[in-house]
Amino acid sequence: MTIGTVRWYDVRKGYGFLKPDDGGVDVLVDACAVERAGMTSLYQGQQLSFDVVYDERIGRSCAESLGASGLQARTRIDTALPFDPRIDPLPERLSPG
């Protein structure tokens, strides 16, 4: 399990990158991995735990099994919270329904 920080994540594009705290290369994270973790989005600067797996189809390392395991309680993990424009000005981060 690796600990890292969200460098950036774009909901519209469906992917982003995580920076491992151990100083390794950035790791791709896609929308499917975010959804499998029960999250609706990631936020720049958010800390996560994740497994790094190599995807031969695209030829790079990807993040799987995202979670907050072992992190401080102050870390914000978005789990389908209602839209609040004071916190998240981008309504496309809402989950449908």
Asked whether residue 85 is domain-assigned, the answer is: no
pLDDT in tens, 54-69: 988 888 889 998 887 5
Distance (Å, whole) CA 20 – CA 78: 20
The domain of 23 spans 2-70
Asked whether residue 78 is domain-assigned, the answer is no
55: Cβ–Cβ under 8 A, 6 or more apart, which residues? 28, 61, 62
pLDDT in tens, 4-44: 999 999 989 999 999 999 888 899 999 999 999 888 889 89
Which 8-state DSSP code applies to residue 93?
A: G
Q: How far is CA 89 from the centre of its chain?
A: 18
Q: Is residue 95 part of a domain?
A: no
Q: Look up the CATH number of the domain holding residue 48.
A: 2.40.50.140
Task: State the total domains in the chain.
Answer: 1
The whole model's pTM is what?
0.67
75 in any annotated domain: no
- Tokens, residue 93: 């981060």
- Is 78's pLDDT higher than 70? no
Under the banding of pLDDT at 50, 70 and 90, the label for residue 87 is low
Q: Is residue 96 part of a domain?
A: no
pLDDT of residue 80: 45
Report d(CA 54, CA 48) in Å as an integer.
18
Residue 14 covered by a domain: yes
